[in-house]
Amino acid sequence: MRRSIYLILSFIVWILLTWPFVDGNIDWQVVVAGIVASAIVATIFHDILPKEHHIFISPIRIFWFLVYIPVFFYYVIKANFDVVYRALHPQMPIKPGIVKIKTNLKSESGITALANSITLTPGTLTVDITDDGYLYIHWINVKTDNIEQATKIISERFEWFIKKIFE
């Protein structure tokens, strides 16, 4: 079951990236190559990919994922402006450090998505994830050492959506 889901998802990504529909015609070589590549990916990587494969076929989870995308991009753009400001400011107002935050997410996929969201946001980088639900984050401008406050500032904006998508 997982292999077929990953085969379909890989093929959809392949079609979106290659877009073989040109001038009303379909480039069948690209489509066949996509099926073959997707089958290889699904066969090789089905053990590595998340075991919670049901998350990919739930319309509610897909809806929350589509809502999450613009929210995520908003915070990425906002963080980009913050990092540019710090880089161009004459005194370079940074206070780098590593802070510990707590997540309430339970699934491996959810924690991974949270860690990736934090890392993809400029100014923060996930350094380590512990088994007891803590993440260590390198932060360009540490505003607090308190776990609860750091969690609120860094991860709560993402965690609410990720919980709806992955758990």
Spell out the alpha helix ranges (H) of the chain.
2-18, 28-45, 59-88, 108-120, 147-154, 156-166
Over residues 3-26, the mean pLDDT reads: 88
The answer on pLDDT for 46 being more than 90 is: no
What is the pLDDT, as a whole number, of residue 48? 73
Which of 34-38, 59-63, 101-105, 160-164 has the lowest average pLDDT?
Answer: 59-63
d(CA 79, CA 124): 9
pLDDT reported for residue 55: 60
Domain range annotation of the chain: 2-49, 55-166
Residue-level pLDDT at 49: 66
Instruction: Find tokens 């904006």 and name the residue.
Output: 157
pLDDT grade, residue 123 (50/70/90)? very high
User: Could you tell me the sign of the dihedral formed by the alpha carbons of 71, 77, 81, 82, in that order?
Assistant: positive
Model confidence band, residue 105 (pLDDT cutoffs 50, 70, 90) = very high
| 53-99 pLDDT, tens digit each | 556 677 888 899 999 999 999 999 999 999 999 889 888 888 999 99
The phi-psi region of residue 31 (left if phi > 0; otherwise alpha if psi is between -120 and 50; otherwise beta) is alpha
Judge whether residue 32 has pLDDT over 90. Answer: yes
